[in-house]
Amino acid sequence: MSSRMKANSVAAVLFAGALAAGCSASLQGAPQPASGQEGLFDPCKDIPDSVLEEVGLDPATEEAGAAGVEQPGWKICGWSGSWYFLTVYSSSYTVDDVRRNPDFRGFEELNVGGRRGIEYQRVDDEDNNGCYLAFSVEHGSIWFNVERKLSEVRQESSCVVVQRLSVNLEPTLPK
């Protein structure tokens, strides 16, 4: 995964962190899964490679976590497309929590595959290089995020791309 994709993943998790406050303790011993992930959709495991290939993503570019590090309360997975990155976030945060987050703007209601969702962008994304689409699920929400690779020319709106990808990926999501 490129450093830009890693930075976007870390930035999104940090922005999302504004949804809740808390602290964690360091533990010694064998690595354990990050806390708060029980029951969450796991995009790395639950989205088939065949579906990724159908939408033009390379399964070999898969990276779990934010910059490869699991995040408490999140399941995150990203892949590389031709001029963009797609990152899928699964969390116990609700779509209403997303709406209340002051780091996001431009909320628009959409319907994808019979499922209601909201499209939005980061407040600090003045060049509109990225776009999110979030859906409610039983254990919280799942977000799709498309970000332009800064080394590439944007070929179309990131919001158009995230909508198109979500049409193919939505059937893989839990209800």
Q: Please tell me the predicted confidence (pLDDT) of residue 126.
A: 92
Average pLDDT over residues 24-46: 64
Between 8 and 55, the more confident residue is 55
Asked whether residue 15 carries a pLDDT value surpassing 70, the answer given is: no
Between 138 and 15, the more confident residue is 138
Q: Please tell me the predicted confidence (pLDDT) of residue 72.
A: 85
Q: Please tell me the predicted confidence (pLDDT) of residue 66.
A: 85
In this structure, the number of other CB atoms found within 10 A of the CB of residue 143 comes to 25
| Torsion angle (degrees, nearest 10) of CA 101, 72, 88, 81 | 110
Length of the chain counted residue by residue: 175
Span 56-109, pLDDT tens digits: 999 999 999 888 888 888 999 999 999 999 999 999 999 999 999 999 999 999
What residues does 130 pair with on adjacent strands?
Answer: 147
Q: Pick from 74, 64, 61: which is nearest to 14 by CA?
A: 74
Asked whether residue 143 carries a pLDDT value surpassing 60, the answer given is: yes
| Mean pLDDT taken over the chain | 83
pTM score of the predicted model = 0.80
Q: Please tell me the predicted confidence (pLDDT) of residue 33.
A: 52
CA distances from 51 to 46, 57, 136, 168 (A): 10, 9, 21, 7
For residue 19, give both structure tokens. Answer: 């949804």
Q: Distance between CA atoms of 14 and 147, rounded to whole angstroms?
A: 16
For residue 18, give both structure tokens. Answer: 């504004």
